[in-house]
Amino acid sequence: MTRTSQAADREKTAARLLNSSADKFYDPEVDIDWSAPLVDGLRYTSEHRCSLYGTALWDRMSPEQRVDLSRHEVASVASVGLWFEILLMRMLLKEVYRADPTTKHAQYALTEVADECRHSTMFARMVERIGCPPYGPRRHVHRLGRLLPVIGYGPALYGSILVAEEVLDRLQRETMADETVQPLVRMVNRIHVLEEARHVRFAREEVVRGVRSLSRKELPYQRWLLATTSMFVTRSLIHPDVYAAVGLDRDEAHRTALGNPHWRETIRWAGERIMGFLDDNGLVGQPGMHAWRRSFLLG
């Protein structure tokens, strides 16, 4: 495919996504009833997706502790999602800064930034509404995150976006259909899933185009950066402080979760679609394999 035809194809995709964005979008300030009471006894995520599910420690927890753990875990996941969406906005704006603003591609990137602003506000309001702290990633990961918009480019940049979005997307798709989960959480997940579908389409096509233009000497760096970023994302989803918040020993519970086969399988399951796509495009390989295994996205 020539550079001209690639540009034309990119413009067609962006035009379709702009039309879709104009046709269907949500305003969380209007579309969510933030004053509605939380439902006593309902969980905040599906029970079998809690990080300690299936462990001896889980068996010793009371039903109330399990519900409370789900509350803190969904707050942790949402605040990590918020952190990464802010990084995503910075990366998209970096792309727009050097693009022709009259192109549909640049205009859709700006539209996606607007979507992510609403999503970030929505996640923040949910965390506040359910009465949890904004856990976010651990301090050293938060600091390292500042580097990603600087050192990230090409397919690794969009691939990192996809890992974060698609892992959350699969977890949220399951939760939004689970009637044992709080209606507020289900509605937040529904809005995010419906709007993220456009973002995923946009990023997947950018990965395919980016891989085509890579030189052989660039591929190892792209693989390393993508795998390393993905490891930090998945290992940050559940902050260790959530365990102390429900009365557990922080370090013991954190070690138990990291070694929990059920939790590792949850991460692998959540990422299996995007991992297949990245592998098909040659982005899963050395020198990133150690990081991929530590991410739990590969068995």
pLDDT greater than 80 at residue 242: yes
- pLDDT tens-digit map of 62-91: 999 999 999 999 999 999 999 999 999 998
The hierarchical CATH code for the domain 63-218+238-252 is 1.20.1260
* DSSP, res 38: P
pLDDT greater than 90 at residue 125: yes
Residue closest to 184 by CA, chosen among 6, 291, 39: 39
Token pair listed for 183: 């209606």
Average pLDDT, integer, range 216-227: 96
Decide if 162 contacts 283 (C-beta within 8 A). no
Note the helical H segments in 98-218: 104-129, 139-145, 148-151, 154-176, 183-212
C-alpha distances in Å from residue 268, one per residue of 141, 233, 287, 293: 21, 13, 20, 10
> What confidence score (pLDDT) does residue 102 get?
94
Confidence band for 2, pLDDT divided at 50, 70 and 90: low
The reported pTM is 0.93
Average pLDDT, integer, range 177-193: 95
What's the chain's Rg over C-alpha atoms?
19
Q: Where are the domains of the chain?
A: 63-218+238-252
Residue partners of 290: CB distance under 8 A and separation at least 6:
227
Residue closest to 27 by CA, chosen among 166, 150, 122: 122
Confidence band for 133, pLDDT divided at 50, 70 and 90: very high
